[in-house]
Amino acid sequence: MVERRYRVAVRRLRGAAAALTPAGVSNERPAQPVPNGAAPSLTYADAGVDIDAGNAMVERIKPMVRATRRPGADAEIGGFGGLFDLKAAGFTDPILVAANDGVGSKVKIAAETGRHATVGIDLVAMCVNDLVVQGAEPLFFLDYYATGRLDPTVGAVLVEGIAAGCREAGAALIGGETAEMPGLYAGSDYDLAGFSVGAAERGALLPRPDIMPGDLLLGLPSSGVHSNGFSLVRRIVAASGLRWTDPAPFAQGQDLAEALLTPTRIYVRPILAALRAQGQRFGLKALAHITGGGFPDNVPRVLPPGCAAEVDLSAIAVPPVFGWLSRTGNVAESEMLRTFNCGIGMVLVVAESERDAVAASLAESGEHPVTLGRLVPRGEGAGVRFTGRLALGSPSP
């Protein structure tokens, strides 16, 4: 593995480690013969790991990493781990919140099409959105990039996307690792994982303990599929007979790959602004990031046992991609709701008396919140109950 550790936002060590690949299935180079019938002298390059490529990537990404510095993390080089100064970041009595995630099989589309610029944004979004739902401000981020053959250009493009996501979220990129592992990944295949830590002052964490029936549900629109359900997406695309370079049937002016690679939205800044505008009123009580499992699995995670969410599906402006997926794959509405965000990437639980104030704050940040429904007594029913129908044109309920 080529380690990429940063001391407060920039340092990557230059080492490598990889498992030897079984014969006949790898990037391994043939061992060089030696005279007199002696055993060949093997090198790391013979095993398929290029340290020079790792070093080249390190040099290319340093300016990108420096650009993510923020209060608490500067751009000094050195150290075996990333550092963060909570006091310099302005915290008094903080609780740390940690999250990790990946991009899933969406990276397969990026790898197959050579379009790597946005999946790094997805990686950051999937982590920092999980922090902000607990009321935490993202502070720093670390990435893990694993591949069968390291291409410094591809690696730099991926880190550039990660850095862009970090800047949008206000998080410093303080560490990372690149693993070149021939035999574990085929050729240029790769995977990404991210790790982020945020903080909230003690007493400001979400969800709040006073959630109750009658509280309203607001939704923030998604940019599309985000980073969940791509195994099903890819299965539907294969069944459709379309190529990645064919025009997207649901997105004018884009080909299929470009449309599906639209990055996951990062909701950090508008939500933090809304929380700060609330001050001590605490009308914004809970948030749910709508990822794998959709509404049915994610909304109940932030509700107390006595509450259920009643969601009006007809209130959602469903992006065309979801209608296309539903119709082309003959995917039922119930399966769509359990697999995809269906147009809402974040759900807010808000006191009815504070609905207008929270919506106004979100609007000031450029958001267009949708009133989805309200909380009701749960009783013996499901944690999420739907009224209305999604505008999918789906062939079955």
pLDDT score of 254: 98
Q: Global pTM?
A: 0.89
Q: Hunting for tokens 């700060």 — which residue is that?
A: 276
Query: Distance between CA atoms of 69 and 75, rounded to whole angstroms?
Result: 6
Q: What is the predicted pLDDT for the residue at 33?
A: 59
Q: Which of 220, 219, 225 is nearest to 262 (CA)?
A: 225
* 10-residue stretch averages of pLDDT, the chain, 397 residues long: 40 32 44 64 87 83 90 67 92 97 97 97 98 98 94 94 97 92 90 98 95 98 98 98 98 97 98 91 93 96 96 97 97 97 98 96 96 95 95 64
Spatial strand order in the sheet of 307-312: 284-289, 344-350, 216-221, 370-377, 307-312, 384-387
Between the two ends of the chain, the Cα-to-Cα distance in Å is: 48
State the pLDDT at residue 61. 87
Q: Are 375 and 361 in contact (CB under 8 A)?
A: no
pLDDT at 35: 60
Distance, C-alpha 179 to centroid of its chain:
20
For 37, residues 6+ apart whose C-beta sits below 8 A from its C-beta are none
Predicted local confidence at residue 299, as pLDDT: 98
The pLDDT assigned to 56 comes to: 83
Give the integer Cα–Cα distance in Å for 310 and 302: 14
